[in-house]
């Protein structure tokens, strides 16, 4: 059973398009369940269920039979979202007869819904002439298969939409979550991990002869490499290993392989895509063979395919031209990928994986690049060079937008720019409520580029300098002197304002390319302070660099990430003291910096008072705190809707931390993304937070909202929302109340 399941899913996964996937599904299910009919009905734009593929019913009925939800047995399965298993289908009150299917002959019926992300995509049906009660095992098999195929069908459907749009059939819309607000209108540049046959972007080429010549040049280069390698290793290889090289060379010399690729290039596609397409097809063919020896050759084909692809991509990358208004699209965008695009050309970003709290989204907000994350079903490899709109307010992507839609978004873009201009006037005004309560608005930084933008927007300090960012952009740990220089730049730029430098916070989703950490559960593993306490040599060098950089400026604060218990704080404090003594002994005149603790795991909330007693300040990392309180991976698009920053449990924890910190007379700040949300900022101010630290982009809006409200109004609002029991109710109330106060314009525009 498990084998048939696996084989069917694998085969469907490898299908070229939706129709072939559906044809494989019906044929394979019919065969494995020894039944006489298998059919798939999919929901169309009008919410009707259309027969899309069948093995057993009249094939002419495909595309012609369509049922409304609730109509017939299929409609009933769809509307009730559960299986229906009938021995005498024709006696069921919902039974409906469609003469074109010839289905009167089939008495037994088993239908299961195909559900993807709570949405019914369609219905899978098996039928049989004889009265057969499909047993529990049959039902379980079909339900399991349907659950696994739902994602594949959704993806194939989305790809079909992209192709249809490419043929001039209107615009398409894909939904994810907001990564950074704002609107971008531009052209897609798809980036994919190198040498990955499954994610090569589809690109159209105009100079076909040149592309073919390019392909053969790369093929010849790989042939040379393999020939050379084979010669060098000849004396050390067994005959079988040697034979593998010979087989590779033979494959490369095989005129038919080259022929298949050139045929595709002649159809207008770029060489890397054509090559990957041919290789994947050969791999599928080998995989389908019954002889185990031949089946094993699939791996060789894939390996050779990747070698050639790496060559093709590397050469193509060198001449990559980024259009103005580049919209970077990738399966999982990373910080280092951003570095490849000239800053003045990057207009927007779209990542298939990840969510609002992934680090790439945080960087996007730091750079103010409209971004949509977690567009799970986006067939991103087909988007290169296509026109896109990124609606970062609502997490929506439009492909090939109509003129009307474009002008609508252009208007929003202009409106937003006008708002920013108005907000510039607030730069030198204090963040003070209408009744004179003063709050400090600081910024989160990481890149040098953040510095100017932060100062331009009136930042009063740095609440979080993510030191891992310069670490992430290098190919080895930066040395002490190098770090001193980097930190000095930050401290100098903001002096005399305070700069809170967080010690290295790697692990989780922040992997240094030169210090890989492989774990099953990285967010619950070796990250933050756990790594640096295990590597005092890294911690000490970093703290020494920070201290030296602060000499004469005296505006450094040190902050410790991911503290979970008191011994970690004691150990870190001891190391900081040691570094301080060493630096002083070397003759530097440094002021001992305030040392603070990040409260970002639930344990730290419950021990906030004890931690505060041993620290100079607390700072809540609400991004991680939310993920750990709600047990929702901050990067996982599948559960992004459960990542609720205004969940009542999160708000209670935030309130407890402030109270605990203040009871020990230490300042409490917050440096998670929540602080940059104008509505949340009102609540945080009412809770008593001393500092809100956010991306420079959000600072003017937050200031403007806080200046428009009184502390009393904010406290009343806080009391009201704290009595509510769901994040949805809290957000709705907050929005309504703020709009009633006339603060509407600072929220997302009416998109």
Binding residues for Mg ion, total number by CB under 5 A: 3
Going across the sheet that includes 346-351, the strands are 172-175, 396-399, 387-391, 183-191, 326-330, 346-351, 371-373, 177-180
**Pattern 575-604, binding to Mg ion, x per CB under 5 A?**
-------------------------x----
| Residues whose CB falls within 8 Å of the CB of residue 748, separated by 6 or more in sequence, listed in order | 181, 393, 394
Stretch that binds Mg ion, among 230-238, 266-274, 320-328, 613-621 (CB under 5 A): 613-621
Q: What minimum distance in Å lies between the beta carbon of 385 and Mg ion?
A: 37
Q: What minimum distance in Å lies between the beta carbon of 502 and ligand PEP?
A: 8
Closer Cβ to ligand PEP, 272 or 672, answer by number? 672
Interacting residue with Mg ion among 621, 678, 679, 700 (CB under 5 A): 621
Strands 499-502 and 556-560: parallel
Closer Cβ to ligand PEP, 27 or 447, answer by number? 447
Closer Cβ to Mg ion, 275 or 689, answer by number? 689
3-state secondary structure at position 2: helix
Closer Cβ to ligand PEP, 262 or 627, answer by number? 627
| Residues whose CB falls within 8 Å of the CB of residue 20, separated by 6 or more in sequence, listed in order | none
Q: What minimum distance in Å lies between the beta carbon of 670 and ligand PEP?
A: 8
Judged by CB under 5 A, does residue 624 bind Mg ion? yes
Q: What minimum distance in Å lies between the beta carbon of 354 and ligand PEP?
A: 13
Q: What minimum distance in Å lies between the beta carbon of 527 and Mg ion?
A: 9
| Residues whose CB falls within 8 Å of the CB of residue 326, separated by 6 or more in sequence, listed in order | 186, 187, 189, 341, 345, 346, 347
| Residue 496, preceding peptide bond in cis (omega within 30° of 0) | yes
- C-alpha to C-alpha distances, 441 to 309, 656, 701, nearest whole angstrom: 49, 21, 11
| Residues whose CB falls within 8 Å of the CB of residue 589, separated by 6 or more in sequence, listed in order | 551, 552
Q: Which of residues 427-466 bind Mg ion (CB under 5 A)?
A: none
**Pattern 482-521, binding to ligand PEP, x per CB under 6 A?**
-----------------------x----------------
Binding residues for ligand PEP, total number by CB under 6 A: 11
157 binds, among Mg ion, ligand PEP, none (CB under 5 to 8 A by kind): none
d(CA 116, CA 150): 5
CA angle 166, 39, 105 (to 5 degrees): 145
Q: What minimum distance in Å lies between the beta carbon of 181 and Mg ion?
A: 21
DSSP string, 436-482: --B-EEEEEE-STHHHHHHHHTT---EEEEETHHHHHTSSS---HHH
Closer Cβ to ligand PEP, 365 or 488, answer by number? 365
* Active site residue ranges: 359, 671
Closer Cβ to Mg ion, 600 or 690, answer by number? 600
Q: What minimum distance in Å lies between the beta carbon of 366 and ligand PEP?
A: 11
| Residues whose CB falls within 8 Å of the CB of residue 377, separated by 6 or more in sequence, listed in order | 154, 155, 157, 158, 174
DSSP string, 557-591: EEEETT--SHHHHHHHHHHHHHHHHHHHHTT---P
Stretch that binds Mg ion, among 345-353, 372-380, 550-558, 619-627 (CB under 5 A): 619-627
Closer Cβ to Mg ion, 11 or 624, answer by number? 624
563 binds, among Mg ion, ligand PEP, none (CB under 5 to 8 A by kind): none
672 binds, among ligand PEP, Mg ion, none (CB under 5 to 8 A by kind): ligand PEP
682 binds, among Mg ion, ligand PEP, none (CB under 5 to 8 A by kind): none
Residue positions counted in the chain: 751
Which residue's CB atom is positioned nearest to ligand PEP?
621
Closer Cβ to ligand PEP, 38 or 629, answer by number? 629
Q: Which of residues 347-376 bind ligand PEP (CB under 6 A)?
A: 362
Q: What minimum distance in Å lies between the beta carbon of 743 and Mg ion?
A: 29
Q: Which of residues 307-336 bind ligand PEP (CB under 6 A)?
A: none
d(CA 669, CA 596): 10
**Pattern 426-465, binding to ligand PEP, x per CB under 6 A?**
--------------------------------------x-
d(CA 201, CA 191): 7
Interacting residue with ligand PEP among 466, 647, 711, 737 (CB under 6 A): 466
Q: What minimum distance in Å lies between the beta carbon of 348 and ligand PEP?
A: 22
3-state secondary structure at position 610: helix
464 binds, among Mg ion, ligand PEP, none (CB under 5 to 8 A by kind): ligand PEP
Q: Which of residues 614-673 bind ligand PEP (CB under 6 A)?
A: 621-624, 671-672
Closer Cβ to ligand PEP, 401 or 621, answer by number? 621
| Residues whose CB falls within 8 Å of the CB of residue 724, separated by 6 or more in sequence, listed in order | 648, 730, 733
Strands 440-445 and 462-466: parallel
| Residues whose CB falls within 8 Å of the CB of residue 409, separated by 6 or more in sequence, listed in order | 183, 185, 389, 391, 401, 751
The contact set with Mg ion (CB under 5 A) reads 600, 621, 624
The contact set with ligand PEP (CB under 6 A) reads 362, 464, 466, 505, 600, 621-624, 671-672
């Amino acid at each position: 059973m498990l084998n048939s399941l696996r084989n069917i899913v694998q085969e469907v996964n490898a299908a070229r398009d939706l129709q072939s996937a559906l044809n494989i599904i019906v044929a394979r299910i019919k065969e494995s369940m020894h039944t006489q009919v298998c059919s798939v009905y999919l929901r169309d734009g009008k919410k009707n269920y259309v027969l899309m593929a069948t093995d057993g019913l009249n094939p002419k009925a495909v595309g012609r039979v369509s049922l409304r939800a609730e109509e017939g047995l299929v409609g009933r399965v769809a509307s009730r979202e559960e299986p229906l298993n009938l021995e005498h289908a024709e006696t069921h009150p919902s039974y409906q007869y469609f003469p074109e299917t010839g289905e009167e002959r089939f008495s037994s019926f088993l239908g299961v819904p195909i559900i993807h992300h709570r949405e019914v995509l369609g219905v899978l049906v098996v039928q049989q002439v004889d009265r057969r009660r499909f047993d529990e095992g049959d039902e379980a098999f079909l339900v399991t298969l349907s659950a696994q195929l739902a994602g594949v069908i959704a993806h194939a459907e989305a790809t079909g939409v992209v192709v249809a749009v490419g043929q001039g059939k209107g615009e398409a819309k894909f939904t994810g979550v907001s990564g950074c607000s704002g609107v971008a209108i531009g052209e897609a540049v798809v980036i994919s991990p190198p040498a990955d046959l499954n994610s090569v972007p589809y690109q159209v080429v105009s100079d076909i002869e040149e592309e073919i010549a390019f392909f053969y040049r790369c093929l010849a280069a790989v042939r040379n490499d393999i020939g050379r390698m084979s010669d060098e290793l000849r004396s050390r290889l067994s005959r079988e290993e040697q034979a593998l090289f010979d087989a590779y060379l033979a494959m490369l010399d095989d005129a038919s392989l080259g022929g298949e690729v050139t045929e595709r290039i002649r159809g207008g596609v770029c060489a890397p895509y054509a090559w990957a397409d041919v290789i994947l097809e050969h791999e599928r063919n080998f995989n389908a063979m019954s002889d185990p020896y031949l089946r094993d050759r699939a791996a060789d084909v894939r390996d050779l395919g990747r070698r050639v692809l790496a060559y093709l991509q590397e050469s193509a990358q060198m001449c990559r031209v980024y259009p103005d208004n580049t919209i970077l699209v990738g399966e999982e965008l990373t910080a280092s990928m951003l570095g490849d695009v000239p800053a003045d050309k990057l207009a927007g970003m779209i990542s298939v994986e990840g969510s609002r709290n992934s680090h790439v989204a945080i960087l996007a907000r730091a750079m103010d690049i409209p971004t949509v994350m977690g567009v799970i079903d986006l067939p991103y490899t087909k988007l290169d060079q296509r026109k896109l709109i990124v609606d970062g307010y609502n997490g929506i992507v439009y492909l090939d937008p109509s003129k009307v839609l474009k002008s609508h978004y252009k208007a929003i873009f202009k409106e937003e720019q006008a708002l920013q201009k108005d907000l510039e006037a607030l730069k030198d005004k204090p963040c003070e409520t209408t009744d004179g309560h003063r709050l400090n608005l600081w910024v989160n930084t990481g890149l040098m580029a953040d510095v100017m933008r932060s100062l331009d927007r009136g930042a009063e300090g740095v609440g979080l300098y993510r030191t891992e960012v310069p670490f992430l952009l290098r190919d080895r740990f930066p040395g002490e002197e190098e770090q001193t220089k980097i930190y000095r730049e930050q401290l100098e730029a903001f002096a005399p304002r305070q700069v809170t430098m967080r010690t290295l916070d790697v692990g989780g989703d922040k992997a240094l390319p030169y210090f890989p950490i492989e774990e099953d559960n990285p967010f619950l593993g070796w990250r933050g302070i756990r790594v640096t306490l295990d590597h005092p040599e890294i911690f000490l060098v970093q703290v020494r660099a920070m201290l030296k950089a602060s000499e004469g400026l005296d505006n450094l604060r040190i902050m410790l990430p991911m503290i979970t218990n008191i011994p970690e704080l004691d150990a870190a404090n001891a190391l900081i003291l040691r570094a301080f003594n060493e630096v002083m002994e070397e003759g530097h005149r440094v002021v001992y910096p305030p040392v603070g603790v990040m409260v970002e795991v639930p344990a730290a909330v419950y021990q906030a008072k004890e931690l505060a007693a041993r620290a100079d300040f607390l700072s809540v990392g609400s991004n991680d705190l939310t993920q750990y309180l709600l047990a929702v991976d901050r990067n996982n698009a599948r559960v992004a809707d459960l990542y609720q920053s205004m969940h009542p449990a999160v708000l209670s924890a935030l309130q407890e931390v402030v109270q605990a910190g203040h009871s020990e007379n230490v300042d409490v700040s917050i440096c998670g993304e929540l602080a940059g949300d104008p509505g949340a900022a009102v609540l945080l101010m009412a809770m008593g937070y001393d500092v809100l630290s956010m991306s420079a982009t959000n600072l003017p809006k937050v200031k403007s909202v806080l200046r428009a409200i009184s502390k009393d109004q904010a406290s009343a609002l806080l009391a009201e929302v704290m009595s509510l029991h769901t994040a949805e109710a809290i957000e709705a109330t907050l929005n309504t109340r703020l709009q009633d106060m006339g603060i509407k314009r600072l929220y997302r525009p009416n998109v």
